[in-house]
Chains A and B, each alone.
Chain A
Amino acid sequence: MLQGIAASFFLAAAVSASHIPSGPPRLLSETGLYAGNGTRTIDSANRPFSPQYPLWSDGAAKSRWVRLPEDATIDARLVDRWDFPAGTRFWKEFRFGDRKVETRYLRKNTDGSWTFASYAWNEAQTDAILAPDAGLPNVAEIGPGRFHSIPAITDCRACHVPSEAAPGSGASRTEILGFSALQLSTDRDPGALHAEPLADGMVTLRTLHDERTLAPARPELVTTPPRIQAPDARTRSVLGYLSTNCGSCHNQDSSIANLGLRLKAPATLPHAAPPRAVPPHLPISLFSTTSKWEIPHAPAGESRYVTPGTPDLSAILVRMKSRRPSTQMPPLGTVLHDKEAIALVTEWIESLAPGT
């Protein structure tokens, strides 16, 4: 509660300066998600999908849909950087218990930009209303004194936009974090944390290939589906988790790339290179670089991102285990510990041989 007060206390001026965006519709029912006529039936043109490495959102149940313009294709010349056609829409519904709380909406515009919007569900669960640009704090209690908040548009962009374009240089590149070659691979990680079942009818790489939605066709994504290179199953799952929950900001294209922490896994095709103890996309510096953020009470110079064999001296894990606003990682989008992830990453670090 104090965090909610703190968050809103000094943001009063900022909130007063925000405005209801004129771009997206006022109601979720007006975005095209539903079949219409007041029904909550999903329009058949909106295809469900499920990323293999979902983002931790405090245990929220989620449903996702994509709608591509008819006969349009996704520019897949770069396997890890898809370019979607204008008119593409994504929705992501968040539920806690049996109640819908929020639905997020992304729409690709003709000028190359994306419209970001979040919708807050009403008590009657009949529709959701567009949230202000500044977001809405504490919309649902998800634990004793802990609340889910609808993020500000700037918070959405913090993860979805690696680096903001300079004014006048065109639209910033936006990433759809749950809809990518790795996330839709049919070689799904059985150990992926919080994995959501892949149901019939969900879009996968095979779907996109069979329906000729990718241009160029990229049949290799079906014959040898992408997977994270790792020496063992646990490392694979850990790297997948870190890729989704950390890699959206900590990657080579990000505005904070010079921090040197790169955790976003590429859609590396299997057998592209022999497995090694340290997957190639991870800099060796992960295990030897001292974190600028110092672990409390750690000896000077001993706060590495990951200290093999020593979880308590691994800054990544220490920050994952915190939900203090100035310490926690990720810094937004979660207020509850991800206990499963903490346990898995702890085991992983303990298993790493010193000197890795």
Chain B
Amino acid sequence: MIRTRGLCVVHPGGPRLAFADVTVAQGGRLLLRGASGSGKSTWLALAAGLLTPAAGDLVVADQALDQLAPPARDAWRARCIGFLPQRLHLSDALTVADNLALAYFAAGQAVDRDAIQRTLTALGLRDVAARRPSQLSGGQAQRVALARALLRRPLVILADEPTASLDDGAAAQALALLQDSSRDCGATLVIATHDARVMQALPQAQVLALPVAPGREPVGRRA
């Protein structure tokens, strides 16, 4: 479950940005809608525990984030959050399989090769496990990034503009995959987007409309 109450962030010497309250049940869908600079990334950072709000309560995956010290928050993020960034940030120094293994390294846990194999197979990536990310097509690379987010069966999946650079067919495929995958692990799916195609693909999803930004994007205290 995700629940926000009176959430707001303040940029040092800048405008105050308040977010509307929202409650999403575990396994639900939430769309963050808004133009560039409207605070979508800020909201995602708050939800991932990377940013501490200036005011308000934030519960993500049934955890009140203000009750976690930074080290505990890192561990919580490793356990509960799957993140699909807009730019995929796959490391070309490592194979596809080892890019996934990074998730275990980050969490400080032993690498579960079976889980990696299972996840890659489920996303149709078994044959590219030994390749470098630069050798993959755009669609394959995005699926690798999604596999990395899903690997540890997170409670919340945060996707940042997952359809931004895709044509209609690929965008539909990516959205279907995101929905199927999050349903499989019972995760709450949050998609930040300004793409109308996403709205059409997820008609039942809750929507949090973000206001047009007053200039600069506000930034709170870093976690």
Q: Are the chains A and B members of one assembly?
A: no
